[in-house]
Amino acid sequence: MASHVQVNPLDTYLTFAEGKPGWLYAVAAALASIIAYIDWKVEQVSIGFLYVVPILIASPTLRGWQILVVAATCGILRELFNPIHATPGAAIRACIGAAGFGLAGFFVSELNRKRHLTDQHLREREVEMRLRVEAEQQLRVVIDTSPLAILTLDGHGDVLRANESAQRILGLDSNELNGEHIKACLPILNRFLAMPHSKVNLRTTVESRGQRAGGDVFLAHVWLSTFETPSGRHLAAFIWDASENLRNREDTGLDSMMATSRILIGAMSHEIRNLASAAATAHRRLVSVPGLQQVDSFQTLGTIIEGLEKIAASGLGLTADYSADVTDLEMVLDETRVVIDASFRDVDCDTCWKIAEGLPLVVADRHSLLQVFLNLARNCERAMQDTKEKMLTVDALVENDMVQIRFTDTGPGVAKPDELFHAFQPGAQSTGLGLYISRAIVRSYGGDLRYEPNSGGSCFVVQLWPADERE
């Protein structure tokens, strides 16, 4: 930034004085000597007042005590060569003269100091202005190149600024972006502007329906804030088109639900098949009872058992061609930690994560495995509700050619471990299906979920195959 400050002669002189003070001292001393000589030779009139000239010349670079010495010297010389120096009051006149010279010197010295402060302040302001301009340029680049749509609106809903992403998402060019179009495309923004004003500026995140100029509807994820300006309340909004994310999330959720449903149906079909096989065996033994074959209820029972066997066979067929994907176990554990750590802190429960480095990829479905981990963590949380010490420890390491993930709590433990992993257990917190389904999911990957005896609480172990071991 170029500086166009006009330099006056005084500033030029003061700058020169600081650059070559020796020359000024020599000139001042020479002038003082000439004045003293003339004042000594001319006895009728005194020109001692001219001592102020060398003092003014030398004072810009002199310190306070130096100015006092020079002023006192000039005051003495003025009185010494004064025609009336022999009259009474010589000391007072010398002091008055020295005081006048000193005031002149201090005035010039203070003037130079103020000039320094002014120059320093100007330099600081120039630096601040340059940094501010650079920051504004960087911020403008960030706004213009941001993938998020960024809008600023005034209190009437008119667009003050919109970046290219906003124009692209809304399907409008810069000339078409106005209050009416924004109200039609994103009515949520005008709704927040119309809210009653409060002393606290609004900071919030909302999901809302958005509509492009062409009529296409999209899911708008909006971060917005209000701020006060001299012209009134304004609003800034960061808008993200979350439609694609919504589609991916719902598709993934549906796929995960279908995969879990197939596993659950297969597990339940296995139980039904076992019961149906036992009933079919008992039914065949009753055939030998005389006259029982002619009973309608007996024939109906056989038909029911046969139907159950067919249902079980069809349910088992749903999972015959199911194959799990390869999953990054460390990522799933990180997601589990993000989900449960906050809720555990709310109930004063600590968590300890001991994840070995370099864990291999495992054979599992990412979303289903996350549900298994969350179910085990919730079970541990419920088990520690009434305990004094609440600690969940999660260990993950490779052991015996398999990846072992242990969820260990400090609860009272399991009174009847043999009854775990059975559906519809008496005394379970809900239906008892959680552990049953979790084990079925893990076993569908070729792994296992088991309970490991532990003296200090409960320990559930998830065993998974590394991906390279199943290739």
Q: Is the torsion defined by CA of 415, 420, 423, 429 positive or negative? A: positive
Do 358 and 445 share a domain, yes or no? Answer: yes
Classify burial at 410, counting beta carbons within 10 Å of its beta carbon; exposed 0-12, middle 13-18, buried 19 or more: buried
Is 134 among the domain residues?
A: no
Q: Do residues 210 and 172 touch, judged by C-beta distance below 8 A?
A: no
pLDDT of residue 2: 44
Do 201 and 279 share a domain, yes or no? Answer: no
The domain that holds 205 is classified in CATH as 3.30.450.20
Domain boundary among 241, 267, 290: 241
Do 445 and 349 share a domain, yes or no? Answer: yes
pLDDT of residue 408: 92
Do 269 and 167 share a domain, yes or no? Answer: no
* Alpha-helix runs per DSSP H in 20-163: 21-41, 52-58, 64-80, 90-145
pLDDT of residue 406: 93
Do 201 and 69 share a domain, yes or no? Answer: no
C-alpha pair distances (Å), 308 with each of 266, 276, 279, 311, 315: 14, 6, 10, 5, 10
pLDDT of residue 4: 47
Q: How far is CA 312 from the centre of its chain?
A: 52
Is 121 among the domain residues?
A: yes
Residue labelled with tokens 């959720």 = 253
> Could you count the other beta carbons within 10 Å of the beta carbon of residue 242?
16
pLDDT of residue 260: 67
Do 330 and 290 share a domain, yes or no? Answer: no
The domain that holds 347 is classified in CATH as 3.30.565.10
Residue 143 to residue 77: CA distance in whole angstroms: 73
Q: Phi and psi for 17 in degrees, rounded to 5?
A: -60, -40
Domain boundary among 174, 208, 241: 241
Residue 329 to residue 326: CA distance in whole angstroms: 9
pLDDT of residue 396: 93
Q: Phi and psi for 161 in degrees, rounded to 5?
A: -155, 140
**DSSP class per residue in 280-349:** HHHHHHGGGSTTGGG-HHHHHHHHHHHHHHHHHHHHHHHTTT----EE-HHHHHHHHHHHHHHHHHHTT-
Tokens of 123: 């330099």
Q: For the chain of 471 residues, list the mean pLDDT of each consecutive stretch of 10.
A: 53 66 76 79 74 76 78 78 73 81 80 81 91 90 87 85 87 75 82 75 86 85 88 88 79 67 68 76 74 72 76 60 75 90 85 90 88 89 86 91 92 78 56 75 87 83 84 50
Do 355 and 457 share a domain, yes or no? Answer: yes
Is 3 among the domain residues?
A: no
Beta partners for 228?
233
Q: Is the torsion defined by CA of 295, 296, 302, 305 positive or negative? A: negative
The model carries a pTM of: 0.55
Do 77 and 93 share a domain, yes or no? Answer: yes
- Nearest-5° Cα angle at 230, 149 to 164: 15
Do 308 and 418 share a domain, yes or no? Answer: no
Q: Phi and psi for 309 in degrees, rounded to 5?
A: -65, -40
pLDDT of residue 405: 94
Domain boundary among 300, 318, 336: 318
Classify burial at 65, counting beta carbons within 10 Å of its beta carbon; exposed 0-12, middle 13-18, buried 19 or more: exposed
Do 73 and 163 share a domain, yes or no? Answer: no
* Total of domains in the chain: 4
Is 435 among the domain residues?
A: yes
Is 220 among the domain residues?
A: yes
pLDDT of residue 80: 72
Buried b / exposed e over 32-58, threshold 16 CB at 10 Å, is beebbeebeeeeeebebebbbebbbbb
Domain that holds residue 181: 149-241
